[in-house]
Amino acid sequence: MLTGSIVALVTPFTEQGNVDYTALAELVDWHVAEGTDAIVAMGTTGESPTMSHDEHVMVVSAVCELAAGRIHVIAGNGSNATAEAVHLTERMANLPLAGFLNVNPYYNKPSQRGLIEHYRACCAASDLPQLLYNVPGRTGADLTPEQVAELAEIQHIVGIKEATGDVARVAELRKRCGNDFILLSGDDPTGCDFLLAGGQGVISVTANVVPGLMKQMVTAACRGETEQARALDAQMQDLHEAMFVQANPIPVKWALAQMGKIEANYRLPMTAPELPQQQHIEQTLKQAGLVSAEHA
């Protein structure tokens, strides 16, 4: 339930800034049809920092209802305030979720003791499995393999989304945390290498725009079909680059808007890409065959 090709789903908004539940339903249906294994709702890509707790829970609840058992749903439940993370976890604990994705507390830079107590409190709030999320580029702190190994001893922590892009960590984490600990890539450009090194899946931004292709690559890599996996990954490298020409989820929402999947609406402080980035994203989509050459 927590492995394979997992999309870090965007949250579509209306022009008035409300959640666009019609577009959200269409995105969920599309990922089911394309073979995506699971959806992360209300992660960073879902603009969770801009959402109230009520909105956060409502979006996750809606995704669960829309999924209707056809695809697994993972909910973001992290915060830099332990009380907030616990509160979110408690409010979503009874939803039909596969588990939670819990980002390393950002900004505060807690001690190892603080980290242990933070995650212990979150895990006490629900019996559902929880994935750690290490993204030092966002949080300002790196969850080292030594720290992960200690956190893995906490009940209900079952794996990690590792977004450093350091493929060497796969072997180190596997050695320290054991064969049952789930290792997921959170860095699209190195995701294929991560899987071929022994990872069990990806939580991907690029999967928002090419869910079928991402699923094929992940399947091939997890089967050890190196040549096939690398060939499929090569088709996505330009997209990986384009999806991060500005802070996520700015580019990916713009890309989905050009593909006609959502409207290009953001919540401040996120705004539409600057014109050069818009043009770059659109050109990359054209080259990938995701929009027509005549697309304006």
Residue of 119, 133, 215, 266 with catalytic role:
133
Examine the pLDDT at 209 and tell me if it is beyond 80: yes
Token reading at 207: 């999967």
133: annotated active-site residue:
yes
Residue 202 has pLDDT above 70, yes or no: yes
Residue ranges of domains in the chain:
4-225
| Mean pLDDT in residue range 193-213 | 98
Name the pLDDT band for 236 (thresholds 50, 70, 90): very high
- pLDDT at 295 > cutoff 90: no
Query: Which of 161, 215, 253, 266 is the catalytic position?
Result: 161
Give residue-wise pLDDT tens across range 25-59. Answer: 999 999 999 999 999 999 999 999 999 999 999 99
The burial class, CB within 10 Å (0-12 / 13-18 / 19+), for 40 is buried
Q: By percentage, how much of the chain surpasses pLDDT 90?
A: 95
What does R_g of the chain's alpha carbons equal in angstroms? Answer: 18
Which of the two residues, 138 and 188, has the higher pLDDT score?
Answer: 188
**The predicted structure's pLDDT at residue 141:** 85
Contact 138, 106 (CB under 8 A): yes
Q: What tens digit of pLDDT does each residue of 60-116 get? A: 999 999 999 999 999 999 999 999 999 999 999 999 999 999 999 999 889 999 999
What is the pLDDT confidence band of residue 240, given thresholds at 50, 70 and 90?
A: very high
CA–CA–CA angle 271, 272, 273 (5° rounding): 115
Residue of 138, 197, 139 lying closest to 166 (CA atoms) = 197
Q: Is 203 one of the annotated binding-site residues?
A: yes
| pLDDT at residue number 294 | 67
Position with higher pLDDT, 138 vs 156: 156
Identify whether 21 is a catalytic site residue.
Answer: no
Q: Rounded CA gap, 275 and 93, in Å?
A: 42
**Structure confidence at residue 1 as a pLDDT band (50, 70, 90):** confident
Is the pLDDT at 292 greater than 90, yes or no?
no
Q: Per the confidence metrics, is the pTM higher than 0.85? A: yes
Asked whether residue 262 is marked as a ligand-binding residue, the answer is no
Longest dimension (CA), the chain: 57
Question: What integer best gives the mean pLDDT of the chain?
Answer: 96
Give the C-alpha distances (Å, rounded to integers) separating 155 from 40, 123, 234.
21, 7, 38
* Class level of CATH domain 4-225: alpha beta
**pLDDT above 80: residue 296:** no
